[in-house]
Amino acid sequence: MTTTLESLKSIVSGIDAAQGTPQVLVNHFITLNNLAMEDKNQPLIRQSGAIEAIIKTLKNNAENNNILEKGIGALGNISVDDTNALEIGKLGGITVVIQTMKDHQVYLTLQEKCCAAIWNLSFQDENKVLIAKEGGIRVLLNLLRYHKDKPQILAKGFGAMLTLALHDSISSIVAKEGGVVLIINLMKQHQSNLDIQEKGLSALFNLAANDVNGILIGRGGGIDLVVSLIENNMDKQQLLNRCIGLISNLSVNNENSKLIGSKGGLVAVLSVMQKYSNNTQILQRCLSALHNLAMLEQNRLTIGQNDGVLVILQVMKANPLEPSIQERVLGVLLTLALDAENQVSIAQNGGIELLIQAMKNFPSNFRVLERVVSVISNLSFDETARRLVGEKGAIQSVIELLKSNTHQETFVDKACGCLMNMSCDNDNRQIISRLDGVQILSNILKLYPSNPNIQKRASGAISNLGSMF
């Protein structure tokens, strides 16, 4: 039977007429809940006045658990529609749900419906603010504490928390109310429940966008937890993706970065990369995490000592035409190549050949090209690596790209810096000179008279080349 506005108005009239008949009200709420399952009915439900009728009935029956359960369940499904969600907030529905959570804490099924409703309602920023204003964050956290042994409550409560935590001020409230450590402890208590772990990780990921929360997660045992989850769930791709995402967010803070390195997080990330070397989404997060972690010297050493350079180069080799992976790999290599041991490892384990291949594969992608020449430039600080760059033909590739892209100022700047560093080696000077490097660099000096970096690097390279004669 087709649902019409008139048929919905009839249900609303039935709700108004049945205010003293609980079972009839429950039946009407069940009908509306079922109708809300179909997207096409959502605007009609709003237009019929059903939202206002449900909220009014809930206020008038605040002690009837069955009416509350079915009515809030209906609001939860109706709030899947964005406009309806805002309407529920404006009409006082959020206040009713939060008050119900306070007054009926022990009733499991009812609290499930409340958590699900808050979750759906919290996708709208206006509703996030309303939930916080009504004290909903403290109420939700208290509910999680009370039902700490009830996975069905925790999963939906974490779901609500992960959307609420996207709002900066709410993220701070969660921390002040002890929510960060609470989530970590509840996750530890339910490590075998994947739904709780995935939603908890997503909540922590969003909370970690706040610097203070990031530190709280690290100090509160979050890093130990996420490393353990990775080690024990290497076959769970979705969970791993969330784990690595959290490590990436946490690792922007030096204190956390040290903890991640010392507690096995770095090795765990490398293990995931090695196992999923063709999974673009997981690799992107792994490489973002490594980029942050490699900012610390000790972490760079840890990466090198655990064959991390080999793993990273293997990922680069396995994804030759995927620009997002190549860019991220190059970003990590650029940082790793700040250390002599890693410079040699990159050069001796096929890194130079892969850099040359990247230049060939992405001749017009300057995000890739700029990083390639920057990595080569860093490799030049080690004598062995610098020599291998020349022997394997990387200098020729850089010069060819420089000749054909003199209009790309940022690339020109980095390429000139690369040639300046490479020209510290006598054999490399001969290669550059043989490829008309002096003439090319002289032309660049004329093209960019007001760019001090290019002037310094191009003239520095020419000066080095002049020492041949």
DSSP 190-214: TTT-HHHHHHHHHHHHHHTTSHHHH
Give the DSSP H or E segment for 338: none
Q: What is the pLDDT of residues 197-216, one digit of tens each?
A: 999 999 999 999 999 999 99
Distance CA 62, CA 95 (A): 12
Q: Is residue 1 over pLDDT 60?
A: no
Q: Is residue 469 over pLDDT 50?
A: no
Long-range contacts of 426-430 (CB under 8 A, 24+ apart): 426/468, 427/387, 427/390, 427/391, 428/386, 428/387, 428/389, 428/390, 428/395, 429/464, 429/465, 429/467, 429/468, 430/468
Contact 325, 365 (CB under 8 A): no
Q: Is residue 126 over pLDDT 50?
A: yes
Distance CA 70, CA 76 (A): 10
Torsion sign across C-alpha atoms 260, 265, 267, 271: negative
Please choose, from the candidates 68, 77, 94, the residue with its C-alpha nearest in 3D space to the C-alpha of residue 42.
77
Give the DSSP H or E segment for 62: none
Contact 44, 38 (CB under 8 A): no
Average pLDDT rounded to a whole number, residues 452-461: 97
Q: Is residue 9 over pLDDT 80?
A: yes
Can you give the pLDDT at residue 3?
87
Contact 119, 78 (CB under 8 A): no
Distance CA 207, CA 180 (A): 8
Contact 406, 442 (CB under 8 A): no
What mean pLDDT, rounded, does the chain reach? Answer: 96
Q: What is the pLDDT of residues 439-450, one digit of tens each?
A: 999 999 999 999
Q: What is the pLDDT of residues 264-296, one digit of tens each?
A: 999 999 999 999 999 999 999 999 999 999 999
Average pLDDT rounded to a whole number, residues 51-64: 97
Q: What is the CA radius of gyration of the chain?
A: 30
Contact 286, 314 (CB under 8 A): no
Contact 136, 175 (CB under 8 A): no
Torsion of the alpha carbons at 11, 13, 15 and 20, rounded to the nearest 10: -150
Average pLDDT rounded to a whole number, residues 103-108: 94
At 363, the pLDDT band (50, 70, 90 cuts) reads very high
Q: What is the pLDDT of residues 143-179, one digit of tens each?
A: 999 999 999 999 999 999 999 999 999 999 999 999 9
> Per this entry, what is the length of the chain?
469
Backbone φ and ψ of 233, nearest 5°: -140, 45
Q: What is the pLDDT of residues 11-45, one digit of tens each?
A: 999 999 999 999 999 999 999 999 999 999 999 99
Tokens 């007001």, located at residue: 450
Distance CA 207, CA 322 (A): 31
Burial class (CB in 10 A: 0-12, 13-18, 19+), 412: buried
Give the DSSP H or E segment for 1: none
Distance CA 158, CA 173 (A): 15
Distance CA 22, CA 24 (A): 5
The token pair that represents 68 in the structure block: 């509350």
For residues 220-234, one letter each, b for 16 or more C-beta atoms within 10 angstroms of the residue's C-beta and e for the rest, the string is: bebbbbbbbbbeebe
Give the DSSP H or E segment for 25: helix 22-35
The residue ranges of every structural domain in the chain are: 337-469
DSSP state for residue 38 in the 8-state scheme = S
Give the DSSP H or E segment for 320: none
Homologous superfamily of 337-469 in CATH? Leucine-rich Repeat Variant (1.25.10.10)
Question: Three-state DSSP class for 370?
Answer: helix
At 2, the pLDDT band (50, 70, 90 cuts) reads confident
